[in-house]
Amino acid sequence: MRFTEYPKQNLLKVIPTINSTGLEAIKAMLKISPQKRSSAQQVLKMPFFKFQELITPSTNFTGPRDSQGALNLESPQNSTIAPNSSSK
């Protein structure tokens, strides 16, 4: 099977709001050669995925919860994201 070849695109034009660490992660995932492409595990260790603040369901999401306090995503009720109080 042969695929149509397209010219390389400038990712900053496709995703103009991305930062340099995000661009690095996307480029690592878009390599055509499987030997050169980063695995999901490798990409998740990249700087783009190092969060300064972690969002936890117990503090930032409202909605139905199971008996252990975890957000119940299968509930027919709508869940909402509450404003993050630490970002004020």
- The predicted-structure confidence for 65-83, as pLDDT tens digits, reads as follows 666 666 566 655 544 544 5
Q: How far is CA 3 from CA 32, 37, 85, 88, in A?
A: 12, 19, 50, 50
Classified as helix, coil or strand, 80 is: strand
Q: What is the pLDDT of residue 84?
A: 46
What pLDDT is recorded for position 53? 53
- Domain ranges for the chain, please list them: 11-49
User: pLDDT under 50 in the chain at which residues?
Assistant: 52, 78-79, 81-82, 84-88
- Ramachandran quadrant class, 40 (left: phi over 0; alpha: psi -120 to 50; beta: rest): alpha
CA distance 53 to 24: 21
pLDDT of residue 75: 52
What's the pLDDT at 50? 82
Reported pTM: 0.52
